[in-house]
């Protein structure tokens, strides 16, 4: 049953908090831990439905997973050492988990059924299946959405693949498959995307090379017949989850919030860069490094914001943050144009359409021109609307955040799916002084 929730106008959010672990890194830590030999100990793993679906999948493929002293411990089976699953691999709502695991299964002599919920079953898988089929993965039937039955092979062929559209998920799936192939598998991306897979592969001992080309393209290569060694992973706080806290502090008058231990990987900081261009008062405190990733604390205070143009090349570094950026833009003075958002149309929902419709229901002028979203802010948001979430966790959280700064309450029609990425979103916001009912 849907569970609606209303965000009440709130002021003076204050305190120090830590949001859950990064979802992208959590998925990859589990998967590479399963492909390594020995034991991988993961602290700070995101305990959310998407990540737990990946944990169940790697366990179904033969990796042993236990909990000890607050950490997740994975006993890996080595590259090529996983076993056929007894039943279907159910990824729930997780696009990341399902696409990355297609790359893993591709290198094993097994048949596997991939299934998911209604939302995931509508999302396209063709862009990852096409290159994996070139490497040797066999797909039963003509379907390019879940449910899928695939057959892997221990005799994958290494390829050089030019990504037609920048996608960290497709890149990662191919690099994971490349671990099983002889020679080198190379992925060429039109613009750099989040590079957690590359960093974590190196942390596990894979032979990896990255070439930044003069034309702006980036070539990432991994050596096959790989041997990965189990290791320790500490997962930093998820910047995509922190984005909602950052936004709330900016738009709720009298706020001063510190978010601890946030991942500051440069391929994930486009949202912060955009907010600073808008005039946001955001400081990075105690910047350091952990397991090859930059980590820091963020101090955020209420700010007077102005509209900006967000260029299309920034989209890969903030693709999940556009709905909440649109919410912030509603409070800015002037027009904010977010360019090149075609990717938003194939997320858990058509986020481009859902965001524009949600803004309109709250009295904000918003329009779509091609793949661009244009939001015209006046510094104040009337609110008072009910927003359709379309089973999308980020739409739900973006408009609950908007409601905290609006003049009147904002209701979202369902919050059950928030558990896929940020299960303690409401308690953490409440801890800072936000009001919901």
E strand segments, 177-292: 184-189, 208-212, 218-223, 232-234, 256-263, 281-290
351-361 vs 393-405: helix crossing angle, rounded to 10:
30
Looking only at Cα atoms, what is the longest distance across the chain?
61
**Within a domain: residue 354?**
yes
User: What DSSP element (H or E) covers 322?
Assistant: helix 322-329
Tell me: do 271 and 388 sit in the same domain.
Answer: yes
Q: Judge whether 230 lies within some domain.
A: no
Domain edge (last residue) among 223, 248, 273: 223
Spatial CA neighbour of 43 closest among 399, 394, 220, 291: 291
The string of pLDDT tens digits covering residues 189-245 is 998 899 999 999 999 999 999 999 999 899 999 999 999 999 999 999 999 999 999
Helix (H, G, I), strand (E, B) or coil at 37: strand
Nearest partner of 187 among 224, 152, 217, judged by Cα: 217
Last residue of a domain, one of 169, 196, 223: 223
Q: Tell me, what's the pLDDT at 202?
A: 95
Q: In a 3-state reduction of DSSP, which class is residue 152?
A: coil
Same domain for 180 and 240, yes or no, is no
Chain segment 306-334, per-residue pLDDT in tens: 999 999 999 989 999 999 999 999 999 99
| d(C-alpha 125, C-alpha 419), whole Å | 23
Residue-level pLDDT at 348: 73
* pLDDT, position 274: 98
Nearest to 292 by CA among 417, 199, 182: 199
- Answer yes or no: are the C-beta atoms of 337 and 372 closer than 8 Å: yes
> Which stretches of the chain drop beneath a pLDDT of 50?
none
Position 263 in a domain: yes
Please write the tens of the pLDDT for every residue from 391-413.
999 999 999 999 999 999 999 99
Q: Can you tell me the distance from the alpha carbon of 298 to that of 436, in angstroms, rounded to the nearest whole number? A: 24
Domain of residue 364, residue span: 5-20+236-436
Q: What is the pLDDT of residue 328?
A: 98
Annotation says 155 is catalytic: no
Domain presence at residue 231: no
Residues 241 and 353 in one domain: yes
pLDDT at residue 292, rounded to an integer: 83
Q: Domain check: are 10 and 68 in the same one?
A: no
pTM over 0.85: yes
Same domain, 205 and 329: no
Phi and psi at 35, nearest 5°, equal -90, -10
328 and 209 share a domain?
Answer: no
- Judge if 248 and 114 occupy the same domain: no
DSSP assignment of 335-390 equals EEEE---GGGGGSSS-HHHHHHHHHHHTT-EEEEETTEEEEEEES---B--EE--T
Q: What is the pLDDT of residue 343?
A: 85
Number of structural domains in the chain:
2
**Residue of 90, 195, 238, 320 with catalytic role:** 320
By CB atoms closer than 10 A (0-12, 13-18, 19+), residue 216 is: exposed
- Write the DSSP symbol of residue 236: P
Q: What is the pLDDT of residue 291?
A: 80
Q: Is 171 a member of any domain?
A: yes
- Does 248 lie in the same domain as 218? no
H-assigned helices in 92-209: 95-106, 126-135, 168-178, 196-204
- Residues 20, 23, 25, 31, Cα dihedral to 10°: 120
Residues facing 247 on adjacent strands: none
Q: How much is the pLDDT for 216?
A: 87
With respect to residue 383, please indicate whether it lies within any of the assigned structural domains. yes
The enclosing domain of 180 has a CATH number of 3.65.10.10
pLDDT of residue 152: 98
């Amino acid at each position: 049953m849907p569970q609606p929730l209303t965000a009440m106008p709130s002021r003076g959010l204050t305190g120090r908090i830590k949001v859950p672990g990064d979802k992208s890194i959590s998925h990859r830590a589990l998967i590479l831990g399963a492909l390594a030999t020995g034991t991988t100990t993961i602290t700070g793993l995101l305990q959310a439905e998407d990540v737990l679906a990946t944990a169940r999948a790697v366990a179904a493929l033969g990796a042993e997973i236990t909990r000890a002293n607050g950490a997740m411990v994975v006993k890996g089976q080595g590259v090529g050492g996983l076993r056929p699953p007894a039943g279907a691999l159910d990824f729930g709502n997780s696009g990341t988990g399902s696409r990355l695991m297609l790359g893993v299964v591709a290198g094993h002599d097994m048949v596997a059924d991939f299934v998911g919920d209604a939302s995931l079953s509508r999302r396209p898988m063709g862009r990852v299946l096409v290159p994996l089929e070139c490497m040797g993965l066999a797909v039963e039937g003509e379907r390019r959405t879940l449910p899928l039955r695939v057959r892997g092979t221990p005799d994958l062929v290494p390829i050089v693949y030019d990504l037609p559209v920048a996608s960290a998920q497709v890149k990662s799936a191919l690099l994971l498959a490349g671990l099983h192939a002889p020679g080198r598998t190379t992925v060429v991306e039109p613009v750099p995307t989040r590079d957690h897979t590359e960093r974590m592969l190196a942390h596990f001992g894979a032979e990896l090379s990255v070439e930044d080309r003069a034309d702006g393209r980036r070539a990432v290569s991994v050596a096959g017949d790989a041997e990965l060694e189990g290791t320790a992973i500490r997962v930093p706080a998820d910047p995509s989850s922190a984005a909602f806290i950052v936004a709330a502090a900016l738009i709720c008058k009298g706020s001063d919030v510190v978010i601890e231990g946030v991942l500051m990987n440069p391929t994930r900081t486009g949202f912060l860069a955009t907010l600073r261009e808008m005039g946001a008062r955001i400081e990075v405190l105690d910047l350091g490094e952990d397991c090859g990733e930059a980590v820091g604390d963020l101090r955020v205070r209420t700010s007077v914001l102005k509209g900006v143009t967000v260029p299309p090349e920034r989209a890969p570094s903030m693709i999940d943050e556009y709905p909440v950026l649109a919410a912030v833009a509603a409070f800015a003075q002037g027009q904010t144009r977010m360019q090149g958002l075609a990717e938003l149309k194939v997320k858990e929902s058509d986020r481009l359409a859902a965001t524009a419709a949600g803004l309109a229901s709250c009295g904000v002028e918003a329009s779509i021109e091609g793949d661009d979203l244009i939001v015209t802010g006046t510094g104040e948001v009337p609110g008072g609307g009910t927003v359709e979430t379309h089973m999308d966790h980020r739409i739900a959280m973006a408009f609950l955040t908007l409601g905290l700064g609006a003049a009147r309450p904002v209701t979202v029609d369902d919050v059950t799916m928030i558990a896929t990425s940020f299960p303690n979103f409401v308690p953490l916001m409440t801890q800072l002084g936000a009001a919901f009912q």
